Amino acid sequence: MKLGKVFLAVFASVAILGMAGMETYDRMTTNYIVETGECYVVNDQSSKGSSNVTLWFGERAYGFKEIPDVAYGPGQLFSCRATMTKQMQSGIDYELRSLDGELLFSTE
């Protein structure tokens, strides 16, 4: 039983370090993907009180920590540009523009 716990702990450690390493590698080598187009923003407030937002580009969704200070929601479309790490697709930054091109919010 102890051997199983040790194996599980080692496996979990390797998995966590591997994920962190891929994201760190992406950031160090500027290995990013960029998504542009129409999107909407949803607040993903958790039961623990932390709040993040998700940008939805059709069926594709990407999470970000910064909450925009403009009106948003599924009924509000923006022209969006989002940058994520290539391996983990974790959010780096994003900007929201009106459909006319006016900059409304940016994390840069």
Q: What is the pLDDT of residues 52-101, one digit of tens each?
A: 899 999 999 998 989 999 999 888 999 999 998 887 767 889 999 999 99
What is residue 37's predicted lDDT score, i.e. its pLDDT? 95
Burial label, 64 (beta-carbon count in 10 A; 0-12, 13-18, 19+): buried
Strand partners of residue 55: 41, 62
This prediction's pTM: 0.67
Distance CA 108, CA 52 (A): 17
* pLDDT for 49 beyond 80: no
Q: Which amino acid is at 104?
A: L
